[in-house]
Amino acid sequence: MTKTVDLAVIGGGIHGASIALFAARGGMNVTLIDRDALARGASGTNAGTLTMQMTRAALIPYALKAHEMWVRAPEWLGHDVGVKACDGLSLAFTEAEETLLAERAEARRAAGAPIRLVTPEEARAIEPSVSTQIRMASHCTIDGFANAYLTGVAFRRALISEGVELQEYTSVDAVEPAARGYSVHTKAGVINARQIVLAGGVWLEPMLRWLSVHVPIRTLVNQLAVTERMPPVMRTVVGIASGLLSLKQYPHGTVVIGGGWQGIGDRTRNTHSVVHDSLIGNVRLAVHAIPGLAASRIVRSWTGFEAETADALPAVGAVPGHEGAWVCGSVHSGYTSGPYIARCLSQAILGEEPEMPLFPIDRLLPAVVSNPLK
């Protein structure tokens, strides 16, 4: 007879892995399933930026809490994800960007982020290598970055020591409501679980369809590039007013260039790739912001999916009409606030009141058309 676990988490990214960890610590018997290895999708390939200046204003309170968690990862996760806290600057090169920057800085400041507008001189005191062509910058004292590719190995160690059963390289074909909970049909067999979490990033849409819930999830294809190791060229996280640039130098010397320039990809076939002009544009923006990058070379570019709901706010909460089924994902800049969002949802799963409100998906369901025959 197949055993029944307390919780089956489908999707081993930052959300799924964190929920599995917190649920296990809350006393649950947990299985975590991923069709690839842990954090091999967006959670392992994103830019690792832990900035408030690219976070949606509504998510700032969550991102601030998560920032603190990231910085203290060795305490609660028990392993290093290469997190470095530092200052952050967002730049304006044109008058239009100044307006945009001021407006966005104010909205994020109102949401709790310690952001203030600074002059070019002040900006250069904070980041001496920044372009002399800036007209204004916004400075946030809470910023930083993680080494995203270490997410998988760090969580793997933590989950194993917490007794979570990992089923990697195991795809799930279907999830069905069962007498007491759900049956998760994997290529390796059926797992019965009292509760389930769907945490599959851009694949949340097809996953929710297992339960006949229809929520459209848009697929973004974010591009990234990295330089070879180079001498220290910057010491802050640098972006621009529009949010289309993120730059930081890792302790080993490489500079990661991101900002959400779009590649092309296909969720169904799970393929994504770089668009040449997009990469060139991104690199131009980078070298314009930090001219010292001109001395380096690009050694690698890559792409990853990001999920977005219709209102670009998260899908985090109960699956309507399915007791014990939960969904977690589509969080804009999801890696930044990931561990805290996951903590809030795991509190709900454990039957507690979440520290901060969730983002139930009822709002995203198609409007219920009243049945004229009723």
Partner 1 sequence: MHDLVVIGAGPAGGNAALSAAQAGLDVLVIDEASQPGGQVWRAPSLGVTLAADPDLTRGQAMRMALGNAKIPIKTGFSVWSVAPISDGFEIALASEGGPEMVKARRLLVATGAQERVVPFPGWTLPGVFGLAAATLMLKTENMLPGKRIVIAGQGPLLLAVAAKALKLGKVPIAVVDYNGLGAWLRSVAGFARHLPSFGQGLTWQAKLALGRVPIRRRSEITQAFADNNGLLAEIEIAPLGRGRKQRLRVDTAFIGNGLVPGDEILRLLGVKRVPDPMTGWRIAADAHGRCGPSGLYVAGDAGRIRGALPAAAQGRRVGQVIARDAGITTSFDAVDEAPEFERFADASCRLMQVDDARISTLPDEVILCRCEDVTVGMVRQAIAEGAQDANQLKHFTRLGMGPCQARMCGANAAALLRSHAKVQPGAEYLTPRSPIRPVDITHMAGQFDYADIPVPKPAPL
Q: Among 85, 178, 298, 348, which residue interacts with partner 1 (rule: CB under 8 A)?
A: 298
196 vs 234 by CB, closer to partner 1: 234
Residues 21-40 that bind partner 1 (CB under 8 A): 37, 40
286 backbone dihedrals φ, ψ, rounded to 5° = -65, -50
**C-alpha angle 126-132-136 in degrees, rounded to nearest 5:** 65
Q: Among 287, 348, 350, 365, which residue interacts with partner 1 (rule: CB under 8 A)?
A: 287
**How many chain residues interact with partner 1 (CB under 8 A)?**
61
Question: For the residues of 115-183, what is the DSSP string, one character each?
Answer: EEEE-HHHHHHH-TTS-TT-SEEEEEEEEEE--GGGHHHHHHHHHHHTTPEEETT--EEEEEEETTEEE
Question: For the residues of 223-236, what is the DSSP string, one character each?
Answer: EEEEEPP-S----S
Instruction: Say if residues 181 and 190 touch (Cβ distance below 8 Å).
Output: no
Instruction: Say if residues 257 and 226 touch (Cβ distance below 8 Å).
Output: yes
Residues 99-128 that bind partner 1 (CB under 8 A): 100, 103-104, 107
Residues 176-205 that bind partner 1 (CB under 8 A): none
User: Which among 2-10, 92-100, 173-181, 191-199 is the span making contact with partner 1, rule CB under 8 A?
Assistant: 92-100
Angle formed by the axes of helices 151-161 and 14-25, to 10°? 20
Told to check if 283 binds partner 1 by CB under 8 A, we report yes
Q: What's the min distance (Å) between Cβ of 153 and partner 1?
A: 5
User: Which among 21-29, 72-80, 203-211, 257-265 is the span making contact with partner 1, rule CB under 8 A?
Assistant: 257-265
Q: Which residues contact 374 (CB under 8 A, 6 or more apart)?
A: none
301 vs 346 by CB, closer to partner 1: 301
How, if at all, do strands 4-10 and 189-198 pair? parallel
User: Tokens for 9?
Assistant: 């988490």
332 vs 343 by CB, closer to partner 1: 332
Which sign does the torsion angle of CA 145, 149, 150, 151 carry?
positive
- Residue 304 burial (CB < 10 Å; 0-12/13-18/19+)? buried
287 vs 365 by CB, closer to partner 1: 287
Q: What's the min distance (Å) between Cβ of 237 and partner 1?
A: 16
101 vs 175 by CB, closer to partner 1: 101
Helix (H) or strand (E) holding 247: strand 246-249
Instruction: Say if residues 145 and 122 touch (Cβ distance below 8 Å).
Output: no
Site track 206-235 with partner 1 (rule: CB under 8 A), x = hit:
--------------------xxxx------
Q: What's the min distance (Å) between Cβ of 96 and partner 1?
A: 10
User: Tokens for 339?
Assistant: 């561990």
Told to check if 275 binds partner 1 by CB under 8 A, we report yes
Told to check if 273 binds partner 1 by CB under 8 A, we report yes
Count of all residues that appear for the chain in the document: 374
Site track 128-167 with partner 1 (rule: CB under 8 A), x = hit:
-----x---------------xx-xx--xx----------
Identity of the amino acid at 215: V
87 vs 168 by CB, closer to partner 1: 168
Residues 317-356 that bind partner 1 (CB under 8 A): 332
Q: What's the min distance (Å) between Cβ of 294 and partner 1?
A: 5
Q: What's the min distance (Å) between Cβ of 266 and partner 1?
A: 12
Q: What's the min distance (Å) between Cβ of 373 and partner 1?
A: 40
Q: What's the min distance (Å) between Cβ of 119 and partner 1?
A: 19
Question: For the residues of 142-159, what is the DSSP string, one character each?
Answer: EEEE--GGGHHHHHHHHH
Which residues of the chain form contacts with partner 1 (CB under 8 A)?
37, 40, 44, 54, 56-57, 93-94, 100, 103-104, 107, 133, 149-150, 152-153, 156-157, 168-169, 226-229, 240-244, 254, 260-262, 271, 273-277, 279-281, 283-288, 293-302, 312, 332
